[in-house]
Amino acid sequence: MTSQSEEGEVLGESNGGDLNVLQKHVAFFDRNKDGIVSPWETFQGFRAIGCGMALSTFAAFFINLALSPRTLPPGKWFSPLFPIYINNIHKAKHGSDSGVYDAEGRFVSSRFEEIFQKHAVTNPNALTWSELMEMLKANRVPKDYKGWFASWTEWKILYVLCKDKEGLLQKETVRAVYDGSLFERMEKERALSRKIA
């Protein structure tokens, strides 16, 4: 389903059925496809895309600890297993972000294009590390230290894993991370390279 807003095209449902784009982004980590992402599944997902043990462990702890309380269904206050409920992931959006996901978790095309129009100076279809840092500074909400840290961490991991030989983070790579298709591609590429090796 696609709807239009004053900010430009907003993509509601993804190609993957009833999931919106933010839900699809997170659904990669739902390894058993039950609609809930456990810390163990977060760990497995990070390992599947080629992250080391330390980063995968950190991600499982940090991501589930931060997102679980905000995605719990109504009436649930705490779970020691720190599950992330994919249906409620839009409630866990942090501040100081790019605004590419709207409040409902839909993809806002104009905000995505704005990243490159405003910050891609070296190459109009890619970002350098310094351009990413400029973008993060421009998106900061005053005194939103958690949002600053979350944004920096997300973009740092993406840059380290996906920059090209010239140190550029390509536009299509960034688009693919927003809809989750990048993770699926990385997992397939890693599995293929292990077979060849």
Residue range 94-114: average pLDDT? Answer: 93
Q: Is the pLDDT of residue 116 over 70?
A: yes
> Which pLDDT does position 3 carry in this prediction?
43
Please, what is the end-to-end C-alpha distance for the chain in angstroms? Answer: 42
Rounded to the nearest integer, the mean pLDDT of the chain is 90
- Single-letter amino acid code for the residue at 100: V
> Which pLDDT does position 197 carry in this prediction?
63
- By residue count, the chain amounts to 197
Looking up tokens 């909400």 gives 141
The pTM (predicted TM-score) of the whole model is 0.85
> Which pLDDT does position 161 carry in this prediction?
93
Higher pLDDT, 190 or 60: 60
pLDDT band, residue 17 (cuts 50/70/90): low
What is the per-residue DSSP string for 55-124? HHHHHHHHHHHHHHHHHSPTT----TT--EEGGGGGGG--SSS-S-B-TTS-EEHHHHHHHHHHH--SBT
Q: Is the pLDDT of residue 16 over 60?
A: no
Q: Is the pLDDT of residue 167 over 70?
A: yes
Question: What tokens does 135 get?
Answer: 């973008």
